Amino acid sequence: MYSYINTLDFLFDHTKSYSYDNKPQMQESCIMKKRFLVAAVAATLISPLAAQADATVYGNVHLSIDSVDDGSVGAADGLQMNSRTSSIGVKGKEDLGGGMTALFKVEFQVDIDDRNTGDAKASLTDRDQWVGLKGAMGTVKFGTMSSNYKQMGGKVDPLYRTGVEGRASGMQSALHGGAGIGGGRMTDTLQYTSPKMGGVQVVFNTTFTAADGNADETIGLGVRYKTKTILAFFDYIDMDTDFVAGNPLATTSGTESAMKIGGTYKMDTLTLGLQHELTADLLGEDTTFFSAAYGLNDNDTVAFTFATASQDVATGNDGDGFSIAYDHKMSKRTNTYVAYGSTDMLGSATSDNTDVISLGLRHKF
């Protein structure tokens, strides 16, 4: 590209010297035209390169120091350091013309707290990884991605991906866990998202049996309605699959179906959230989750969550819990927070009370 520009400079310089040595006004006009043409040629050369390189590296580094008092037998107490879904990924798109766009995303979770030192955590694990097409009729994606059912769980929890989040304490069902199909991350998946029509959008996903035969078909359907102040959703999922480690049903396989309804409502600096779940078969759990987040100013937010859970099948436990947090935004990409959470589980399987105090620091890039 620079060689083209230098060539233009050479030609214009010589043209100027041959034709306009004694005509200052015409010489100045030629110089302006030369600069304009050079800029136009440079823009023409750069544009296709920018289009070809339309990819973004992104991620977040998120650590917390947690004081845990867990009443269950054999649980780890005391001070802990935990990586809270730290991740790195690359995503991008390409304009194919005719209103069609190619999309892709490849993301990995990075557990930076212990570097895979033998506690069954891998230092690098896969997250959403897919390729897709977007057009006037909607978006279709192929690969590994969050199910329609999991997608909305974080929308109603302002403490999502912290040590006091609802899904970690059983206040949201295990279908939000994030690992494996039973945790909401579907593999061998086709997912279709419709265009928005009057604020309404539909999401449908289905899986294909893997080559090793370990994953059976899962079908899910979600409906969302969104405006500037309101988010409302309904989700249904039906699966026949094994649950993975980290899920309370890790050694269980069979069918599971679930549905939920919920949403958020924003009033100035106050955002309220609500989600109610009904799960059948293996989990047999009903949960109700409520949240509130209030912005004190542009940089400081307080958040509160409360939830109840009734597990009729998985553990036979009933429980409730609450969390409260203060978050300070240090910049557009860096925030720190302090949070406290408490859950109380009573039932035939276990009876324990867990308290967590968490101090976290997160940087996004």
Among candidates 336, 342, 337, 340, which has minimal Cα distance to 354?
342
Asked if 1 and 94 sit in the same domain, the reply is: no
φ, ψ for residue 312, nearest 5 deg: -80, -25
Q: How many domains does the chain have?
A: 2
Asked if 23 and 77 sit in the same domain, the reply is: no
Longest dimension (CA), the chain: 101
156-209 pLDDT, tens digit per residue, is: 999 999 999 999 888 898 888 887 777 889 999 999 999 999 999 999 999 987
292-330 pLDDT, tens digit per residue, is: 999 999 999 999 999 998 876 555 568 899 999 999 999
Residue 353's pLDDT band (boundaries 50, 70, 90)? confident
User: What integer pLDDT is reported at residue 178 of this predicted model?
Assistant: 80
How much of the chain exceeds pLDDT 70, in percent? 72
Query: Could you tell me the two tokens for 307?
Result: 């939830």
Asked if 175 and 67 sit in the same domain, the reply is: yes
Predicted structure pTM score: 0.78
Residue 44's pLDDT band (boundaries 50, 70, 90)? very low
308 in Cβ contact with 302 (< 8 Å): no
149 in Cβ contact with 172 (< 8 Å): no
Asked if 47 and 67 sit in the same domain, the reply is: no
Q: Among 16, 37, 53, where does a domain finish?
A: 53
Q: Which residue has the higher pLDDT, 325 or 121?
A: 325
Q: Where residue 97 sits, what CATH number does that domain have?
A: 2.40.160.10
Rounded to whole angstroms, the Cα distance separating 281 from 312 reads 10
User: What integer pLDDT is reported at residue 115 of this predicted model?
Assistant: 65
Asked if 180 and 126 sit in the same domain, the reply is: yes
CB atoms within 10 A of CB 8: 16
Rounded to whole angstroms, the Cα distance separating 25 from 23 reads 6
Q: Which amino acid is at 87?
A: S
Sequence-distant (≥ 6) Cβ neighbours of residue 169 within 8 angstroms: 321, 341, 343, 354
Asked if 25 and 79 sit in the same domain, the reply is: no
Q: Does the structure show a pLDDT above 60 at 49?
A: no
Residue 280's pLDDT band (boundaries 50, 70, 90)? confident
Asked if 15 and 121 sit in the same domain, the reply is: no
Among candidates 125, 115, 97, 241, which has minimal Cα distance to 174?
241
Residue 117's pLDDT band (boundaries 50, 70, 90)? low
Q: Among 9, 29, 53, where does a domain finish?
A: 53
Asked if 134 and 184 sit in the same domain, the reply is: yes
Query: Could you tell me the two tokens for 70?
Result: 């867990």
Q: 121 lies in which domain range? A: 58-364
Q: Among 38, 53, 68, where does a domain finish?
A: 53
Rounded to whole angstroms, the Cα distance separating 89 from 364 reads 12
Q: Which residue has the higher pLDDT, 319 or 86?
A: 86
User: What integer pLDDT is reported at residue 174 of this predicted model?
Assistant: 82
Asked if 228 and 251 sit in the same domain, the reply is: yes
Asked if 232 and 122 sit in the same domain, the reply is: yes
Q: Does the structure show a pLDDT above 60 at 10?
A: no
181 in Cβ contact with 224 (< 8 Å): no
Residue 37's pLDDT band (boundaries 50, 70, 90)? very low
Asked if 145 and 48 sit in the same domain, the reply is: no
Asked if 68 and 212 sit in the same domain, the reply is: yes
Sequence-distant (≥ 6) Cβ neighbours of residue 357 within 8 angstroms: 66, 67, 338, 339, 340
Residue 20's pLDDT band (boundaries 50, 70, 90)? very low
